[in-house]
Amino acid sequence: MTANQWQIGKIKITRVIEIEAFGGMRRILPDADYEAVKAIPWLFPHFADADGRLGASIHTLIVETPDCRIVVDTCVGNDKDRLVPAWNQLQTNFLSDFQATGYALDSIDRVLCTHLHVDHVGWNTRLQDGRWVPTFANARYLMGADEVAFWQAGSDDERFGPIYADSIKPIFDAGLVDLVSADHQVAPGVRMIATPGHTPGHVSVLLESAGETAFITGDMLHHPCQFARPHWCASVDHDKPQAIRTRTDIFERFADSPTLIIGTHFATPTVGHLVRDGDVYRLDV
């Protein structure tokens, strides 16, 4: 097991990093300025650097159960026209890093997008001979029916580029999409949980095996600082009051419990246990 693998009972989770860096999070979390971050000492050194810049990661999680191999979220992807300069025509070694973990692309059974934002659907497809083709050709792609309906209702994200056209529509065209409810049982021990607010159909993922549990956040929060400041919203949270309610409910549910919290954008070490800290919460890593 490497530093980027965790075991929950009989379920193995492997993290494949596309991008990890300090800085660049103020655009996402405008409340998190230097003074405000400095007031949360437990964020240092893992989740904030000496200059108060927040660390963040874009990664995929491969969840392997005894029956099923599931990819949770698929990052930004290569070769895509994006309006965020750092993500436009991105070229990384993600696919070779993915396969270096020992998982062949065609061995993946399910792809689960917690929501359909730009940095969660990119590797749904890859460019082959000038066409966007499914990266995981033997997988069913699970998408929340409410989430898909939201984006299909003309809400295509013009802030980021032609995401639907290059990363969602080709999966529909290939007949690989299963529209599912927000509490869908993906496999024994793997269940989606509705965590709306960031987007209308946003889901998180609960893992349970042999008496152990873990929770994959998705973007219901972007950074561990929000455990200490649940009212800090991401600029891209669609319904901010609902996003705050979801954070408060989920934090209360898992605080002081043995559930391992796995952050979808948390920098290394990425996981920890949630503990009460006065009126708010802290991540113990």
Residues of 211-223 as b/e, b for ≥16 C-beta within 10 angstroms? ebbbbbbbbbbbb
**DSSP code at position 168:** I
Find residue 208's DSSP bridge partners. 213
CB of 236 to Zn ion, least distance (A): 6
3-state SS assignment for residue 279: coil
166 near Zn ion (CB under 5 A) = no
CB 22 within 8 A of CB 64: no
Contact region with Zn ion (CB under 5 A), list: 13-21, 113-121, 159-167, 264-272: 113-121
Choose between 80 and 117: whose C-beta lies nearer to Zn ion: 117
CB of 41 to Zn ion, least distance (A): 28
Contacts of 279-285 with C-beta under 8 Å, sequence gap 24+, read 280/227, 280/228, 280/229, 280/230, 281/227, 281/228, 281/230, 281/251, 281/255, 282/42, 282/227, 282/228, 283/42, 283/47, 283/224, 283/227, 285/46
Choose between 207 and 236: whose C-beta lies nearer to Zn ion: 236
237 near Zn ion (CB under 5 A) = no
Which residues, 6 or more positions from 164, have their beta carbon under 8 angstroms from its beta carbon?
116, 151, 152, 156, 157
18 near Zn ion (CB under 5 A) = no
Contact region with Zn ion (CB under 5 A), list: 125-133, 177-185, 217-225, 265-273: 217-225
CB of 219 to Zn ion, least distance (A): 4
Which residue of the chain is nearest Zn ion when measured via CB? 117
Cα–Cα distance for residue pair 130/118, rounded to 1 Å: 20
DSSP H or E stretch at residue 265: none
Sign of CA dihedral 65, 70, 76, 77: positive
CB of 148 to Zn ion, least distance (A): 15
202 near Zn ion (CB under 5 A) = no
The residue from 219, 220, 243, 263 that contacts Zn ion (CB under 5 A) is: 219
**DSSP code at position 222:** S
247 near Zn ion (CB under 5 A) = no
The residue from 15, 117, 229, 265 that contacts Zn ion (CB under 5 A) is: 117
Contact region with Zn ion (CB under 5 A), list: 42-50, 63-71, 114-122, 240-248: 114-122
**DSSP code at position 174:** T
Contact region with Zn ion (CB under 5 A), list: 40-48, 184-192, 213-221, 277-285: 213-221
Q: Interface with Zn ion by CB under 5 A: which residues?
A: 117, 219
